[in-house]
Structure 1
Amino acid sequence: MRPSPRLVAALAVLPVALAGCGGGGSTGTPAAPPSIADATTDNRPVKAGGTLNIALNADPDALDPSSATTLVGREVFANMCEKLYDIDAASALVPQLAAALPEVSDDGKEVTIKLREGVKFNDGTPFDAEAVKKSLDRHRTWKKSARKADLAPVDKVTVVDPATVKLTLSQAFTPLTSQLADRAGMIMSPKALDEAGDSFGASPVCVGPFQFAGRTSGSEIVLEKAPDYYDAAKVKLDKLVYKIIIDPNVRAANLKSGDVHVADQLATTTVKGVQADPNLKVVAGGGLGYYGVTINIGNANGATEKSGPVDTALGKSPQLREAFELSLDREVINKTVYNGLYEADCSPLPLDSPYRTQDPQCSKRDVAKAKQLVQASGVPTPVPVSLNTPNDATNIRLAQVIQQMAKEAGFEVSVKTGEFVSNLEQGKAGDFDAMLVGWSGRVDPDGNLTGMVTTGGANNYSGMSDPGIDDPVKEAAAESDTAKRTELYSSATKKLAELRGIVYLYHNKYYLGTHKDVAGVRYFKDGLPRFATAGFTS
């Protein structure tokens, strides 16, 4: 369905807050999408030494692998806190602190992991099976941990010998290796854990090419080359300085001026301008995650607490949630807000996931039907909707487009902006009506579902609690057959589409801008820039 002339006119007068930076405004020819492969092919020699300044688009939450929930935090962790496993350029799972992929028993309930030997944490403490057990047990049991759902099937971690751990599971859990390739697999210095306790995130110590040196909240995070790193010879840079620059135009301008050498998550409206600068280049990552409107339908007492009634129009009425979704046009949002550089979709699973059935039938914009549903709901119009959004220009722009689209169907959307981490805290607490929030994505589909949409999930901000979601997601995690898992995920995502606790809008692509004299950066589909082999060419 084509957007109405009235909607086009309304969108045309929205403030183009992202325009500028070398002609990268939201009008004219869209930027050409850079290739993910570009990030793995720049193997020019780099010199030893130097400080790499990196612009982050938000201030991370606490740098504690057990409790952290932000993508920007994962970007810092990628260069400071290694995991048992990682992904490579092809999104295949590969050993990192583990010495090999896990050995799994026939019934899937015993998982044995061999570890690298001769490794030290960045404080000189030996890395061994006891340290792995300590971290995994903390991830599983600490009251503040956001990793509990990631490792829920793990009943016990046993030290077999100094270089081997065994995980005993309550049920077979196919996504385990994928979970151990993210924060649930990050291993922390046992000495630092003992000394810092709950405050570990203020001065984290892990195994990594760089070590934590300091943080100024809202301003910067500094990492220095780690002398005890097991592969220190390949690390060329002396220091990484992450600068918090929320405004996308300022981020792109600082890249252009040379104040920063790398800028993460370039706004799609600035990609073209950065590409046009002969001193800069852009590479792409991401695509595993999603972004959308999360609607509070049962988060009355906190995301991990028992679901309860929510006293908002959208929260109480499935009809209104359907009407709200029908008022939105995903393709127009992609073109208007993101220059067509994202991937419009209505599923939490990536477009190229082997666990997707045929593409879901995403709803098309239908204002007439949306109006009928609003009228049938019996709620007086305009229906009030409070939409929480991070306070960066891109999210504000998205909120404004949603506001204008929904208005035609009888909704009055008030946009409530806030600092990124504060918005997440409100989401966890259930202190919202609807919110713009996404998930950076994982290679196994369980990582895009369990924590976000199943009962008690740490990031289940909508408060969904339905056996039609919980049961197939749990069954799929215990299943190793791809076809059977695909069928189960199809069942779960159909129920998600009915409940509309999340109205999925698109899969994010991440665009990383760098100076042309920076080489050796690794940037994969997880959208995490890796700087272990990075440096300056001159």
Structure 2
Amino acid sequence: MTAAVALTACGGGSTSTSGGAAAGSGPVEGGDLTIARAADILAMDKTTTFDNNSIYVMQQIMEPLFTVSADGTEVTPLLATDYTVSDDKLTYTIKLRQGVKFSTGAPMTAEDVKFSIDENTKTGADGWGFINAAIDTVEATDDSTVTITLKYAWAPLLADLALFSNGVIPADYGGKTVEEFYEAPVGTGPFLWNEWKKGQYLKLTKNPDYWGETGPYLDSVTWTVVPDANTRKLQVQGGQVDVDEFPDWSSFESLKTAPGVTATAFPSTRIDYVAFNQQKTPFEDVRVRRAISYAIDRESMVKTVLYGNGQAADSLLSPGTPFYAANPEAPQLDLDKAKAELAQSSQPNGFATSILINAGDPNQASVSQIMQAQLKEIGIDLEIKTLDPTAVKQARNAGDFDMIISGWTMDIPDPDQWTSFAVDPEGGSHSAYTYYDNPDVIALNKQAQTETDDAKRADLYEQLQAQVAEDSFAAYLYYSPYAYAMSTKVQGFQVTPLGNYPLAGVYKTS
């Protein structure tokens, strides 16, 4: 099992503090938590949904066999209690935790685990099935034991079993169709599905029979859809919401000093980047992509967009992700090189194109405006198109864009999740929606998946990062922490380097 350096998984953030609770007082039962966010969820099918807003909700309901430590460095048992590995590294025997029940009251068994993993595997390139590509069979050896047999040695297996897509649900969807089940999903987690008003809010309620030792303390959690960042800021300051998810950096400093509000930048594994849609002319031309990559002033973006809260990106992997390799050769601001690349491209006289951004997102607006000015200097006219954040995700999924500002956050402490998603067309998203397809890079990625020696894996990932930067399949922008603002009444709220926030231990004071 390869441990991640704190960035990709659960970990490392500071807990919010409150002026409302006496020092040393214990958790408070009851209360309702409201989290304001820019975009709605897209779906609850854990096997085919790639949207973080959806993922952060489903993680409160459906739990996997393993989880990641709070600092993001290691995989630890959750619904499993122990495991053994055969000498040839092909067979994993996993013991299940006793006494765990689904929120329906039915006991969780090995048959449920087998069904859940198999359902994820069979999605293949159309979902998160690529994560399970090495799995040959899953057997329910007895009610409390699962045996997983691999086709070949697979370094990320335990980390992959900690991914939400392998979360455990009732076998045969509890007698429902897959569509019916995910309209109101059932799991073993601390919260239950309650209500979803699309485009407005989603509500979960407490699971009173949760098996875990901690919580849940809250009666309910509601995510409200508030696309405008300034409105979210005013709501958390005014007490209409408890948590502002991702306030813009321009208001982050003022939120730090706002009465009754705690603003925290949690350590992250996030990378922001511009995705080029290689289905659209002229982005199939590597020299066009390089020209744009060389024309971007990342240091200026860190200063003016992040207000210094981050660093310029130089690699596909973020610095806290295992096997990150600093790459000084990756494109950075150099207008002479940008002009030279464009001159040798299919568009030597420049061209017009567009970039799609979220309406009401000051960060993306600033990035796109900086890019618009910089690209003009090399002969590219950039139109900025805005849509509601939910509509942007739908357009991204449909490939209906020229360029789009996007971001990635790791979910497990192994780079394979992101590299397979980003550079392998069969990785569930057509290479992070870019439609990038380089057989040499794909081969490097597959070698890294099956290599169990860390030093050799590091070398393979270094080669991969260098080649992907050379191809400029995307223009890396910056690495940044996760910004959150919350009421000082909120206790125990912690965001892991993987971006998710377990809510079982969160409570509110009066």
Which secondary structure does the structure 1 equivalent of 2:148 belong to?
A: strand
Structure 2 counterpart of 1:38: 14
CA distance in structure 2 between the partners assigned to 1:268 and 1:169 by the alignment: 45
Structure 1 counterpart of 2:481: 509
C-alpha deviations, 1:315-374, integer Å up to 9, x for none? 2x2111111111001111111212121232121212133413344433331112212322
Residue 115 to residue 149, structure 1, CA distance change in 2 (3 Å): same
Structure 1 counterpart of 2:350: 382
What is the one-letter code of the residue matched to 2:461? Answer: Y
1:311 shift after superposition: 4.7
1:435 shift after superposition: 1.5
Q: 106, 118, 135: which is aligned to 2:99? A: 118
Which secondary structure does the structure 1 equivalent of 2:176 belong to?
A: helix
CA distance in structure 1 between the partners assigned to 2:133 and 2:322 by the alignment: 24
CA contact (8 A) 1:39 1:524 kept: no
C-alpha deviations, 1:463-490, integer Å up to 9, x for none? 1222221111111111122111110001
1:197 shift after superposition: 1.6
1:428 shift after superposition: 3.4
What is the one-letter code of the residue matched to 2:306? Answer: Y
Which secondary structure does the structure 2 equivalent of 1:234 belong to?
A: coil
Which is further off, 74-83 or 121-130? 74-83
1:246-395 correspondence runs (5 A): 246-297=227-278, 310-315=279-284, 317-379=285-347, 381-393=349-361, 394-395=363-364
Which is further off, 217-226 or 87-96? 87-96
* TM norm structure 1: 0.86
1:166 shift after superposition: 1.3
CA contact (8 A) 1:226 1:232 kept: no
1:214-233 correspondence runs (5 A): 214-231=195-212
What is the one-letter code of the residue matched to 1:338? Answer: L
1:154 maps to 2:170? no
Structure 2 counterpart of 1:86: 67
CA distance in structure 2 between the partners assigned to 1:84 and 1:179 by the alignment: 10
Q: 375, 389, 397: which is aligned to 1:420? A: 389
1:40 shift after superposition: 8.1
Which secondary structure does the structure 2 equivalent of 1:99 belong to?
A: strand
1:149 shift after superposition: 1.0
CA contact (8 A) 2:227 2:388 kept: no
Residue 411 to residue 259, structure 1, CA distance change in 2 (3 Å): same
Structure 2 counterpart of 1:243: 224
Which is further off, 431-440 or 203-212? 431-440
CA distance in structure 1 between the partners assigned to 2:84 and 2:266 by the alignment: 31
Structure 2 counterpart of 1:444: 414
CA contact (8 A) 1:236 1:533 kept: yes
1:96 maps to 2:81? no
CA contact (8 A) 1:155 1:170 kept: yes
Residue 56 to residue 412, structure 1, CA distance change in 2 (3 Å): same
Point out which structure has higher relative CO (alpha carbons under 8 A, 6+ apart): 2
What is the one-letter code of the residue matched to 1:396? Answer: A
CA contact (8 A) 2:268 2:498 kept: yes
1:135 shift after superposition: 0.9
CA contact (8 A) 1:36 1:283 kept: no
C-alpha deviations, 1:107-148, integer Å up to 9, x for none? 222122211111111122211110011111111114795111
What is the one-letter code of the residue matched to 2:14? Answer: D
1:77 shift after superposition: 2.1
1:67-82 correspondence runs (5 A): 67-82=48-63
Number of aligned residue pairs: give it.
490
Structure 1 counterpart of 2:424: 454
CA distance in structure 2 between the partners assigned to 1:155 and 1:420 by the alignment: 39
Give the gaps of 5 or more residues in structure 2.
Answer: 1-10, 19-23
Q: Percent of counterpart pairs with the same letter?
A: 28
Which secondary structure does the structure 2 equivalent of 1:149 belong to?
A: helix
Structure 2 counterpart of 1:485: 457
Residue 194 to residue 164, structure 1, CA distance change in 2 (3 Å): same
Q: 512, 519, 522: which is aligned to 2:494? A: 522
Structure 2 counterpart of 1:531: 503
Q: 198, 223, 240: which is aligned to 2:179? A: 198
Give the gaps of 5 or more residues in structure 1.
Answer: 1-34, 298-309
Residue 518 to residue 250, structure 1, CA distance change in 2 (3 Å): same
CA distance in structure 1 between the partners assigned to 2:289 and 2:327 by the alignment: 22
What is the one-letter code of the residue matched to 1:532? Answer: A
What is the one-letter code of the residue matched to 1:445? Answer: P
CA distance in structure 1 between the partners assigned to 2:173 and 2:404 by the alignment: 36
Residue 453 to residue 392, structure 1, CA distance change in 2 (3 Å): farther
What is the one-letter code of the residue matched to 1:507? Answer: Y
What is the one-letter code of the residue matched to 2:168? Answer: I
* TM norm structure 2: 0.91
Residue 176 to residue 286, structure 1, CA distance change in 2 (3 Å): farther
Which is further off, 352-361 or 224-233? 352-361
